[in-house]
Structure 1
Amino acid sequence: MCGIVGLFLKNEDLRPKLGDLLTDMLITMTDRGPDSAGIAIYGDDSSKLKVTVQSDTPDETFRGLDKALSDALGGPVSMRVVDTHAVLTLPEGTEAEARAYLNEKGVRVMGAGHSMEIFKEIGLPKDVAARFHVREMGGSHGIGHTRMATESAVTTLGAHPFSTGDDQCLVHNGSLSNHNQMRRILTEKGFAPKTQNDTEVAACYISSRLAEGANLGEALEGTLDDLDGFFTFVVGTKNGFGVVRDPIACKPAVMAETDDYVAFGSEYRALANLPGIETARVWEPEPATVYFWER
């Protein structure tokens, strides 16, 4: 099972409420997956690169991390600690060096970009959202996921969203049948998945297509040809988000659009409390059809 939500705000006046709205949407989906939960928030564009990291021992791991990383990179690094996660702001052009340093120190990188921050952990959506103060977060758009583990263990690294490219992440409801074959292909292309979760394979696939010059719509269309199984993908990028369902579309999905927003939910009840939902255009995404919105 698993529950997915997504919200793309057209009305800038709603941006301060993004985290609050997404939290309510995700909590509504709790019974679709109580194992772990996560949210990616796209805030205002920053001129500096942000890397979200995670540790099971944050007090020890994050103590002095900003200074040590600053010394290693030869430039200023700031750090904002949020429970088991921290958001590091780095000098431009140092991402590869920073990732190498963090990997050597055993610090897990959740995602990177100029606007995206990712927070995910084991536990119920209401508890995960409270730990990371998601309700207080603003931004232009975001996606979330609550998981029922089937193909891999219940761990933080197995939780969604998966980010495998700057300001890009993906959530998934379903199961892929050719993920091991795709894992080998993607590894040869330099996009090796780091976990056993088949969703990360899909995220790496999207990253590889974007790196090859495809736009988001083309990358999502490619999933219909190259990925086998049953799936609904919701992908977040710096400028928007996209949705695609497999040709059978056996996983539930519903969308709503008003002048103020576009919203996605695994079930309508995730959208029921959004402002203006009573006048929204509500529909079920068609099978094998790509939808995406950008700002």
Structure 2
Amino acid sequence: MCGIVGLFLKKDDLRPKLGDMLTDMLITMTDRGPDSAGIAIYGDDSDGLKVTVQSDTPESDFAGLDTALGEALGSPVTMKAVDTHAVLTLPEGTRDAAIAFLEARGLRIMGLGEAMEIYKEIGLPKDVADRFNLRAMGGSHGIGHTRMATESAVTTLGAHPFSTDEDQCLVHNGSLSNHNQMRRILTEKGFAPRTENDTEVAACYISSRIAEGANLGEALEGTLDDLDGFFTFVMGTKTGFGVVRDPIACKPAVMAETDDYVAFGSEYRAFANLPGIEAARVWEPEPATVYFWER
């Protein structure tokens, strides 16, 4: 049992409030997942590729990191450090060299993208939100997750969202029964998951389908044929977010839409503090149906 939230803003004047609204939604889902929490925020495009990294010893690992990486790449790098995470903005064409440099230093890659930043840690959702000052973050849309670990250990890397491609990430409520089989298939294709979490298998599956030529909608539809188990997936991309539930759809899910936003929650109470919720169109997403909203 986990909690999922998602918020897509239709109007730019709400962008400064995204983090505040999404944090309220996330904290409301605490009793569905108290062991860890994470959020992906899609803000303004950067001047280069942003890489979000995590460290258990940020004071030492982040000291001078931007300077050292810039020297290694031969071009300046900017860095924003937030608690155990840091967002580094890379010069064009330096992605692979930068990742190799960062991983050699023992830093964990949380995600990459021109717009996306990912923050996740173990602990209660409120504590995680406070550590990263999520309420102060603005943007166009975001997704979040509160985890109750069932299939793997409580670790930072095991927390959601999982990102396996640029500006793309996934959160999941449910359990996949064929994730070990899919893990072997994906590894052979060059999309090996890094953790034991079955959600990362789903994220790698979607990335593999897109690499094979499928669009995002087709990749999400493919999960209905190739992934066994009970699942609700909420996926963030640079331009929007999508939702799909398995054909049985036993995991709770609800959506709300107004002229200002589209919201997803594992339970209706996640929407309680959203402005104008009393006038929203509220519905339960249909089983085996892909929903998507884009800017």
TM-score range, shorter chain: over 0.9
The structural deviation recorded for 1:178 is: 0.6
| Deviation readout 1:159-200 (Å, 9 max, x if unpaired) | 000001000000000000111111111111111100000000
Q: Distance in 2 between matches of 1:167 and 1:77?
A: 19
AA in 1 matched with 2:77: V
Question: Deviation of residue 64 (structure 1)?
Answer: 1.2
Match of 2:112 in 1: 112
What is the CA–CA distance in structure 1 between the aligned matches of 2:89 and 2:46, rounded to whole Å? 10
Structure 2 counterparts to residues 5-44 of structure 1, below 5 A: 5-44=5-44
User: 57-66 or 140-149: which moved more?
Assistant: 57-66
**In the aligned structure 2, how far is the partner of 1:47 from the partner of 1:172?**
31
Paired residue for 1:206? 206
Give yes or no for the alignment of 1:159 onto 2:159: yes
The one-letter amino acid of 1:232's match is T
Q: Name the aligned partner's letter for residue 205 of structure 1.
A: Y
Could you tell me which runs of 5 or more consecutive residues in structure 1 were left unpaired when the two chains were aligned.
none
Which residue does 1:52 correspond to in 2? Answer: 52
Aligned to 2:273: 273
Given that 2:46 and 2:89 are in contact with CA atoms closer than 8 Å, whether structure 1 keeps it comes out as: no
Give the drift of 1:47: 2.9
Q: Verify the 8 A CA contact 2:115 2:167 in the aligned structure 1.
A: yes
1:1-295 to 2 correspondences below 5 Å: 1-295=1-295
Cα displacement (A) at 1:45: 1.6
Q: CA deviation at 1:212?
A: 2.0
Structure 2: distance between partners of 1:167 and 1:11? 21
Name the aligned partner's letter for residue 278 of structure 1: E
When the two structures are superposed, what TM-score results if normalisation uses the length of structure 2? 0.99
- Residue 213 of structure 1 and its aligned partner are, at CA, apart by 2.3
Q: CA deviation at 1:98?
A: 0.8
> Could you tell me whether the CA contact under 8 Å between 2:147 and 2:160 is conserved in 1?
yes
Counting aligned pairs with the same residue, the percent is: 85
Output the CA distance in 1 between the equivalents of 2:236 and 2:243: 9
**Alpha-carbon shift at residue 272 of structure 1 (Å):** 1.9
Q: Please give the alpha-carbon distance, in whole angstroms, between the structure 2 residues aligned to 1:160 and 1:34.
A: 13
The list of structure 1 runs, each at least 4 consecutive aligned residues, that deviate by more than 6 angstroms after superposition, is none
Stretches of structure 2 lacking an aligned partner (at least 5 in a row): none
May I ask how many residue pairs the two structures share in their alignment?
295
Shift of 1:46: 2.0
**Inter-partner Cα distance in structure 1 for 2:140 and 2:209:** 24
Residues in 1 aligned to 2:211 and 2:95: alpha-carbon distance in whole angstroms: 17
Say whether the 8 Å CA contact 2:254–2:282 is kept in structure 1.
yes
C-alpha distance in 2, partners of 1:42/1:155?
24
Query: Using the alignment, how far apart are the partners of 2:25 and 2:90 within structure 1?
Result: 32
Whether the aligned pair in 1 keeps the contact of 2:142 and 2:236 (CA below 8 Å) is: yes
CA separation in 2, counterparts of 1:7 and 1:208?
A: 26
> Which sits farther off after the overlay, 240-249 or 68-77?
68-77
Q: Secondary structure at the match of 2:182?
A: helix
Q: CA RMSD in A?
A: 0.7
Amino acid of the structure 1 residue aligned with 2:116 = M
Amino acid at match of 1:127: D
TM-score (ref. length: structure 1): 0.99
Give a deviation string over 1:184-243, Cα, whole Å, max 9, x none.
111111111000000000011111112222222111100000100000000000000000
Q: Distance in 2 between matches of 1:4 and 1:169?
A: 13
- Secondary structure at the aligned position of 1:255 is classed as strand
CA distance in 2, matches of 1:257, 1:208: 31
